Structure 1
Amino acid sequence: MLERRSLKGPVVLGVVMIVLVIILAAMWVVGNILGATGTPVSPTMFWAMLATGGVLLTFVLAGVITYLTLTVKAFNLNRRQSNFIDSVTHELKSPLASLKLYLQTMTRRAVDADQQQHFHRTMLEDVERLDSLINHLLDAARIERGVEPQPPATVRLDQLLDQLAQAACLRYRTDPGVVSVRSNQVTVNSQLIQLEILFRNLIDNAVKYAGDPPEVVVTVSTQNQKDVIVRVADNGCGIPMDQRRKVFGRFVRLGNELERSKPGTGLGLYLVRNVAKTLGGVVRVNDRTGGGTEFEVLLRSVLQHEQSRSSDDTESPPSSPLDFSTGESPMKLPTNQFDQKGDGQENIKPDESTVPLTKPGGPSGG
């Protein structure tokens, strides 16, 4: 969890630096007075004052460097927040303007059935885009304040990835074959909702920034008979080496926000990194062979079972999120979980409703 910074640390550091500077100034004045008056000073006292002054000066320099570092971090955060405000403003204004236009058109003149159907479909997409933005912000807020860990559940990871891939293609209006999931039948024991947030944002990010024509490949492999590795690769322009650590920060989006054509808030990969940490895993960025970017997620000690997928599994992913659970009855949230609508969650209440995994209106990564 990323804790919010308080002013207590910088204030204490500033007070300590002021005190040290005053002590140094006093020692300097005393030394000058003793030298001007010709007062003899013992070698022991001289070296003690010199050593003390050197130590105090070192502390002052360290404090100045710390303040400079904090200032640079604050400047970068303010710049990212400015980009975030620009992107959120655009993400809010565009669908609202579209909704207003279609509603005014339907109110002021008669439209035939085909046009009404087209208007309704477009308006629904705009509403889902707004819902996606809000849920994205809610996910980030939950990550920052921390959420009690959920009990692990048995999840068919390959089927989860299949449905998330289909949902991403629907969101970005691409051919269903754009995202290819290559996996055996892999069953894991992990937090289901966190897995959904993690891989939804990764797949969305890959589809959004893929090349033309887009191509996204999701592969699942295992190691040591206990760890699971998921790689999400796209054929986009890639991420420069010096930017690969930065892309996981809050509000980070490469380039100028006002000149960017891709939608997003800069929170998708931030969610990916923090959810991976919550699950005890790590995420890395690599170059894709042939050009593009590959995100690699290592989930430790989650593998329960692996076997070859049947043709039915490969051709017909589950239409219901509940199919991801391998148990007889649907999974339920524990009583200590919150009741709020998140990405793909329909006002889940403790021990009363099952856990839907995803819907086409979830947020996109990045």
Structure 2
Amino acid sequence: MRPLTIFYIIVFYVIAQLFWWATLLIAFNPIRKWMIVGEGVVFLSLMAFGAYTLHKAFNREKKMNDQKKNFLLSVTHELKSPLASIKLYLQTIIKRDLDVETQRNFIRKSLLDIERLDDMVENMLLASKIENNSYSFPKESFNFSDLVEKVVGRLQIHVCSKDALVTHIQPDIYVTGDKFSLGAVVTNLIENAVKYSSGCDPIHVSVEKIESGKVSFKVADLGMGIPDEEKPKVFNRFYRVGSEETRKTKGTGLGLFIVKQVLDYHQAQIKVKDNKPKGTIFEVLLG
């Protein structure tokens, strides 16, 4: 039997006993009737509030457990797919007499899958360290424009054409912060846009200094978009937008969680806006 069911059976039993004893006390001492009723109302109010709070806690815990299960299933799939691909490429190279160019092509594709695995492992390690407060976020001044250019160049191979990632990056914009974790922010936001874009729709990546003196980093896609009611939730750990179309897309639900945690540490802002005619814009403002 579920713990919540047992709890409500106990609550029902306590309330029934309360009414029973209240009836007996009133019958025994009618003069104190309203005092007994008042104390009973207070007790019932506290009992109702406690039951409601516990019910919410149980539901929250159940939701978190369901998200963890989905996360484990997603991670298993994310690991299995590139590993199977790498294994197939290597077995083909060993078993068949391939020309040098084909071998190099298979090795390049294997390296892409390894890079994908490496990104996922780094995300999980960073999320774990942030949650355990064991990541120190070492600060330094570095060329943010150069960092974004390098991430775009590395992720260019994951899109359908060289024109799919469109950049508008002002050169030599420097920020002070943790280069590794801010690199994870850039990678996760661009990968997120690639993941939820369809076909060869362009993804616009920009870096510029705005009038306030802050550095603006934007990633704009023409994907499925995010409903307004879902926007505040997308940065929660393990959370994925609830549409069936989104659930079929690969992902662990950690990317945007890491983005928000890293930016909060850097006292930076992130805004989620609708793109026109469709899609989403993520804008990061670094001080």
Give, in whole Å, the separation in 2 of the partners of 1:135 and 1:148: 13
| Contact 2:166/2:203 (8 A) holds in 1 | yes
Q: Give the 5 Å matches for 1:142-181.
A: 142-172=129-159, 174-175=161-162, 178-181=165-168
Change (3 A) 1:79 1:179: farther
Corresponding residue number in structure 1 for 2:217? 230
| Contact 1:98/1:123 (8 A) holds in 2 | yes
| Contact 1:197/1:272 (8 A) holds in 2 | yes
* Cα shift at 1:202: 0.9
| Contact 1:249/1:270 (8 A) holds in 2 | yes
Aligned identity (percent) is 34
Is structure 2 residue 279 aligned with structure 1 residue 292?
yes
* Cα shift at 1:29: 4.2
Give, in whole Å, the separation in 2 of the partners of 1:31 and 1:183: 76
| Contact 1:250/1:270 (8 A) holds in 2 | yes
Q: Give the 5 Å matches for 1:14-163.
A: 28-37=19-28, 39-42=29-32, 46-163=33-150
* Cα shift at 1:104: 2.5
> RCO (CA 8 Å, sep 6+): is it higher in 1 or 2?
1
What TM-score do the two structures reach when normalised by structure 1?
A: 0.67
| Contact 2:159/2:200 (8 A) holds in 1 | no
Corresponding residue number in structure 2 for 1:192? 179
Q: Give the 5 Å matches for 1:314-353.
A: none
* Cα shift at 1:86: 2.7
| Contact 2:26/2:36 (8 A) holds in 1 | no
| Contact 1:211/1:234 (8 A) holds in 2 | no
SS of residue in 2 equivalent to 1:214:
coil
The number of residue pairs the alignment matches comes to 280
Q: Deviations over 1:316-342 (max 9, x none)?
A: xxxxxxxxxxxxxxxxxxxxxxxxxxx
Corresponding residue number in structure 2 for 1:279? 266
Change (3 A) 1:115 1:51: same
* Cα shift at 1:173: 5.6
| Contact 1:286/1:293 (8 A) holds in 2 | yes
Q: Deviations over 1:177-200 (max 9, x none)?
A: 623134364222222222111122
* Cα shift at 1:201: 0.9
User: Which residue identity is paired with 2:31?
Assistant: V
Q: Which runs of no fewer than 5 residues in structure 1 stay unpaired?
A: 1-9, 303-366
* Cα shift at 1:223: 4.4
Moved more, 209-218 or 289-298: 209-218
Q: Deviations over 1:296-321 (max 9, x none)?
A: 2233xx3xxxxxxxxxxxxxxxxxxx
Give, in whole Å, the separation in 2 of the partners of 1:103 and 1:211: 30
| Contact 1:83/1:257 (8 A) holds in 2 | no
| Contact 2:209/2:215 (8 A) holds in 1 | yes
* Cα shift at 1:287: 0.5
Change (3 A) 1:48 1:298: farther
Q: Deviations over 1:205-244 (max 9, x none)?
A: 122223433222233343433x333222112121112221
| Contact 1:218/1:232 (8 A) holds in 2 | yes
* Cα shift at 1:90: 1.8
| Contact 2:166/2:202 (8 A) holds in 1 | yes
Change (3 A) 1:40 1:287: closer
Give, in whole Å, the separation in 2 of the partners of 1:26 and 1:75: 31
Please state which structure has a larger fraction of its residues in helix.
2
Q: Deviations over 1:269-302 (max 9, x none)?
A: 1111111111112322111133210112233xx3
CA RMSD in angstroms comes to: 3.0
Give, in whole Å, the separation in 1 of the partners of 2:230 and 2:75: 22
Q: Which runs of no fewer than 5 residues in structure 2 stay unpaired?
A: none
Give, in whole Å, the separation in 1 of the partners of 2:238 and 2:133: 19
SS of residue in 2 equivalent to 1:139:
helix
SS of residue in 1 equivalent to 2:173:
strand
Is structure 2 residue 239 aligned with structure 1 residue 239?
no
| Contact 1:84/1:251 (8 A) holds in 2 | yes
What TM-score do the two structures reach when normalised by structure 2?
A: 0.83
Give, in whole Å, the separation in 2 of the partners of 1:229 and 1:141: 28
Corresponding residue number in structure 1 for 2:250? 263
SS of residue in 2 equivalent to 1:41:
helix
SS of residue in 2 equivalent to 1:218:
strand
User: Which residue identity is paired with 1:124?
Assistant: L
User: Which residue identity is paired with 1:57?
Assistant: L
